[in-house]
Amino acid sequence: MGVISIFRKEVAGFLNSLIAYMVISVFLTAMGLILWVFPQTNVLDYGFAQLESLFGLAPYVFMFLIPAICMKFFAEEKKSGTMELLFTRPLTDLQVILGKYFAGLFLVIFSLLPTLIYYYTVYELGSPKGNLDSAGIMGSYIGLLLLGSFFTALGVLASSVTENQIVAFILGAFLCFIWYDGIDALASLQAVGTAGHMFERLGVVYHYNALSRGLMDSRDILYFLSITAATILLTNLVIGSRKW
């Protein structure tokens, strides 16, 4: 019940604030512009019923959306002085972290659900109607959801190390960028040599792209679950350090 109470508190607090609707509106507007307006990515100019441009650029939008959702989780508690009060309740550190994490993940899913309208629209625009790779799109949504769950864990971690929400946002966006693009860039360096392929597998791009092709490999799913769990445990270590 402890996790659920924290979950409800964070979701209600977020949805009762103006910033929640601003963040979600910016996300959906960005996705809409990518799919229908921008000349290099829009479906109408491309001439094919597909959502590759949406799923190719969505991770970069997530890098800003998710840290914006998560930045207040612990930073606000620290700044307002309610952090210690929170931990005087009969809850473990991990329960508090999981409550906030699942609240963040719920809000990410809540933001993502309206994009199903884009799938329906492209489905109707196909010639013949429904002429699109639904299995690949389903895999892309699963990959995006798993990526969002990991980015949420990173956002919660960033919020746990500072009392400044802006710092938490910047740190969260930086961590998301490093894991998504930084490791992949490192793998492409000539100096890395034959170890490049190993570094590539450590980054999330390799596994996200595999899922986006509709390949439901348990190794890719296990990778995301593992790094998400490891990040949550690291957050637990950071929060627990106040007792040292």
- DSSP code for 178: I
Q: What is the predicted pLDDT for the residue at 78?
A: 83
pLDDT tens sequence across 193-235: 566 567 677 788 888 888 877 777 788 899 999 999 999 999 9
This prediction has a pTM of 0.87
Q: What is the predicted pLDDT for the residue at 235?
A: 94
Cα(171)–Cα(154) distance, integer angstroms = 9
Q: Which of 141, 145, 171 is nearest to 225 (CA)?
A: 145
Q: What is the predicted pLDDT for the residue at 170?
A: 95
Q: Which of 90, 72, 124 is nearest to 1 (CA)?
A: 90
Q: Confidence band (pLDDT; 50, 70, 90) for 153?
A: very high
Q: Using the predicted structure, report yes or no on whether residue 165 has a pLDDT greater than 80.
A: yes
Q: What is the predicted pLDDT for the residue at 56?
A: 81
Question: Which one has a higher pLDDT value, 63 or 38?
Answer: 63
Q: What is the predicted pLDDT for the residue at 152?
A: 95
Q: What is the predicted pLDDT for the residue at 61?
A: 87
Question: Which one has a higher pLDDT value, 178 or 130?
Answer: 178
